Amino acid sequence: MLIRILGAAAGGGFPQWNCLCQSCETSRAGKAAGLTQSSIAIRSQSGDWFLINASPDVRLQIEQMRSQQCFVETGQRSLPFTSIILTDAEIDHTTGLMLLRESSQPLKIYASASVKQALTTGYPLFATLQNYCGVEWLPLDVGKSIAIASELEIEAFALSTKPPKYMQSEPGSQEIWGVGLTIRDRNTNGVLTYAPGLGAIDQSLQRRFEASDCILIDGTFWTNDELPALGIGGRSALQMGHLPLSGAGGSLEQLAQLKTARQIFVHINNTNPILIPDSLERQTVESQGIEIGWDGLMFTL
């Protein structure tokens, strides 16, 4: 299985257009690499590419892959991905679907029923796309493994009951709005687990991580009060559904207990100081053997 990180930043990218935090200003000064918004692509060694999440930066991400001759072009208006897999209905993971509307064929989209509902009613991308290229929805059910190619299978697992801000949810509802993905290569036996939005690591998730050769995991915030401390937001990381890296019970503390061969942070917010190359926070992460994801990082399992 071949994995490529298309975008390692959280929503808004890095630097974010309206942010003057230290990290963004460091990037604008040319001292930290810019990043596009959260997305990855996968394929088997001999198969086609699959897009996981469609960020607002998808056009640029496709062109970067094309410049490195990643695709076998099959037509003037062909989509270079066999299908698209959505982990949630958040704007930064779905807006790119609109940029793919010129596809000569309907977009084949794997998504949960709640994501389909959100993208049909609250943020009606599916309904809009039906008037352009069309959409073929393929269900993505939690706990069920499905074959997406002869050599690849994916299993969705529950991560979040937090709906997108544009959707309403009943108080105390346990409806699953965000999932992670475990992707298995039947040929190589390589296992990747992708969890870009993660509010907690329980024992079940620890076991899943332990059984993976590589995990791509939520690296959104360094501290729980990151945005309030900067005066640019009122909600904590945990209130936004993201487990912070630092502090008691943070992801760094919990990942240190795992034996997973490769651990990579993705979905990194522009305010997170691990994006600054010489920062103490970045050194702390790297000293633990965890990688900080970057656009274009490609590896095999």
**Distance from the first to the final alpha carbon of the chain:** 5
pLDDT exceeds cutoff 80 at 101: yes
pLDDT exceeds cutoff 70 at 67: yes
pLDDT exceeds cutoff 80 at 173: no
pLDDT range class, residue 171, cuts 50, 70, 90 = low
pLDDT range class, residue 90, cuts 50, 70, 90 = very high
pLDDT digits (tens, 9 = 90+) for 209-227: 999 999 999 999 999 999 9
> What b/e readout covers 264-275, taking b as 16+ CB neighbours within 10 angstroms?
bbbbbbbbbbbb
Whole-angstrom CA distances from 129 to 49, 60, 76, 95, 123 are 21, 20, 20, 11, 12
pLDDT exceeds cutoff 70 at 106: yes
pLDDT exceeds cutoff 90 at 133: yes
pLDDT range class, residue 118, cuts 50, 70, 90 = very high
d(CA 84, CA 76): 20
- What pLDDT shows up at residue 183? 98
d(CA 117, CA 111): 10
Over residues 31-36, the mean pLDDT reads 98
Place of tokens 């970057």: 294
Is the whole-model pTM more than 0.85?
yes
Over residues 285-298, the mean pLDDT reads 97
Query: For the chain, what is the mean pLDDT?
Result: 94
Cβ burial, residue 68 (10 Å; 0-12/13-18/19+)? exposed
- What pLDDT shows up at residue 75? 65
pLDDT range class, residue 168, cuts 50, 70, 90 = confident
Which range of residues forms the domain containing residue 17?
2-300
pLDDT range class, residue 287, cuts 50, 70, 90 = very high
pLDDT exceeds cutoff 70 at 172: no
Dihedral pair phi/psi, residue 187, rounded to 5°: -85, -50
Residue 168 CB coordination number (10 Å): 9
d(CA 42, CA 87): 14
Over residues 149-165, the mean pLDDT reads 94
CATH number at residue 135: 3.60.15.10
- The percentage of residues in the chain with a pLDDT greater than 90, rounded to a whole number, is 89
Domains identified in the chain, total number: 1
pLDDT digits (tens, 9 = 90+) for 231-284: 988 899 999 999 999 999 999 999 999 988 899 999 999 999 999 999 999 999
